[in-house]
Amino acid sequence: MSTFVLVHGSWHGAWCWERIVPILEEAGHRVIVIDLPAHGKDHTPLTEVNLKSYTDCLSAVLDKESEKVILVGHSMAGVVITQTAEYFPEKIEKLVYLCAYLPVNGQTLLQISQNEKKEKESPSIVIISEDQTFMDIKDELIKDSFYGDCSEEDVIKAKEKLCLEPLAPFFTPVNLTDARFGMIPRVYIETLKDKAISISLQRDMYTVSPCNQVITMDSDHSPFFSHTEELCSHLIQLTF
């Protein structure tokens, strides 16, 4: 039996893993999902959230675990699991980046996203608040950006649960060392039809910061909804 800790990305919450959890549990594994501060059922004020808030939240979970876990981060949470891994390398069996940001030492999430190579300019999906403290998403771009392979029913349900996204965590650089973060095996799950984090950016990131294994899915940015069984199969294979 393995323990999975699943960490959601921007605008989402622990709810995005609702189909993944029972399948992993049925396969005999233990699963922990969390709401990062100001996401899901956590009501921390947006202005009080920074990258440390996220890593403190995840660190509190890892600190209670007696055995190593498989730590999975989706999208923005790639930065969260990376920095937390620097603090708790002894608690992590593998890091799994699910179409996630994979930073190198000194990089911010904002810097990575600005490095993306685009064949043509595409409209921004975000609306930044006047006080520069949070981001919202343009409603008309949500499906194409996040849920391209998902059913209309899934899109409607997800849109009802999306929240505002604090901006401060995007400006904080990660502080990593080879002796701690660098010693943990890394797996990258790339998504070929992703329009939130392009496949070119995904491949740029795991080329600069090599992973022990790369798994390819012909999926949008939300395989936990659109390719549930396939994603679970890949995660279960990582336990062997």
Q: Which helix (H) or strand (E) holds 33?
A: strand 30-34
- What pLDDT was estimated at residue 122? 61
Residue 17: Cβ-neighbour burial (10 angstroms; 0-12, 13-18, 19+): buried
Find how far residue 73's CA is from the centre of its chain. Answer: 4
Confidence of residue 191 (pLDDT cuts 50, 70, 90): very high
Amino acid identity for residue 129 in this structure? S
Rounded to an integer, the average pLDDT of 164-168 is 98
The pair of structure tokens assigned to 103 is 């930073």
Rounded to an integer, the average pLDDT of 24-45 is 98
Rg (CA), the chain: 16
Confidence of residue 43 (pLDDT cuts 50, 70, 90): very high
CA 16-231-25 angle, 5° bins: 70
> Residue 119 pLDDT > 60, yes or no?
no
- What pLDDT was estimated at residue 123? 66
Rounded to an integer, the average pLDDT of 118-122 is 49
Rounded to an integer, the average pLDDT of 75-94 is 99
> Residue 124 pLDDT > 90, yes or no?
no
How many domains in the chain? 1
Q: For all residues of the chain together, what is the average pLDDT?
A: 96
Rounded to an integer, the average pLDDT of 25-52 is 98
Distance (Å) of CA 206 to CA 45, 47, 188, 200, 203: 33, 32, 7, 10, 5
- What pLDDT was estimated at residue 114? 82
> Residue 120 pLDDT > 50, yes or no?
no
Are 36 and 48 spatial neighbours (Cβ–Cβ below 8 Å)? no
CATH code of 43's domain:
3.40.50.1820
Distance (Å) of CA 193 to CA 29, 151, 208, 234: 29, 15, 21, 18
- Backbone phi, psi, residue 95, to 5°: -105, 130
pLDDT above 90 as % of the chain: 94
Which of 140, 164, 127, 155 has the alpha carbon at shortest distance from 47? Answer: 164
The pair of structure tokens assigned to 30 is 């233990």
Give the range of the structural domain holding residue 220, as residue numbers without chain letter: 3-111+120-237
| SS3 (DSSP) at 187 | strand
- Cβ-Cβ contacts under 8 Å for 174 (sequence gap 6 or more): 51, 79, 82, 83, 86, 103, 104, 105, 106, 107, 108
Amino acid identity for residue 210 in this structure? P
> Residue 30 pLDDT > 60, yes or no?
yes
> Residue 28 pLDDT > 60, yes or no?
yes
- What pLDDT was estimated at residue 125? 83
Encode pLDDT of 87-101 as tens digits: 999 999 999 999 999
